[in-house]
Amino acid sequence: MSEPSAGGPERAAAHYKEITSVATEAVDRTHEHERKKAAGLEDEVAAGQDRIETAQQRENEVAEGVRLRWDGALEALWNERWLRVTRMPKPDPDAAPAPAEESLRAVQVAYLALRNALDRPRWSASSLLPKSRRRGG
């Protein structure tokens, strides 16, 4: 027969309770850590979704601004029969990323440059003639 261990069953039960207590504390700490981590990740996901919505809104604003200026350019070029006007081109996937405000500003500058160019006096054969001949004199 085996001899009872030092301290007997009471000592074994106390040792078992110690081990289970330490394990329970470790599990509780792990669960608390997991809850905090999950809450932090939920906040990050929500912030990411907000950023996506803001970016989509800005993209829509830029697209609308470009479309309005394109329509204005088409209207301005209506009498330029020599110029083949096409549909608005698709966005250039190779274009460098830029903030929405900068993109709209660049499109506005180009649009205004077009309008200014169209407002300048046009070249014509009669513009090369001396002034006295142009007036019939």
* Structural domain includes residue 33: yes
pLDDT digits (tens, 9 = 90+) for 43-87: 999 999 999 999 999 999 999 999 999 999 988 888 777 778 788
Does residue 30 surpass a pLDDT of 90? yes
The total domain count for the chain is 1
* Structural domain includes residue 129: no
Residue 38 belongs to domain spanning: 9-80+97-120
pLDDT digits (tens, 9 = 90+) for 92-127: 899 898 898 998 999 999 999 999 988 887 666 666
Does residue 39 surpass a pLDDT of 90? yes
Q: Which pTM does this prediction carry?
A: 0.59
DSSP state, residue 130: -
Q: What is the identity of the amino acid at 104?
A: L
* Structural domain includes residue 49: yes
Task: Provide CB contacts within 8 A for 114, sequence distance 6+.
Answer: 73, 76, 77
Residue ranges of E strands in 33-98: none
* Structural domain includes residue 52: yes
* Structural domain includes residue 135: no
Contact 56, 45 (CB under 8 A): no
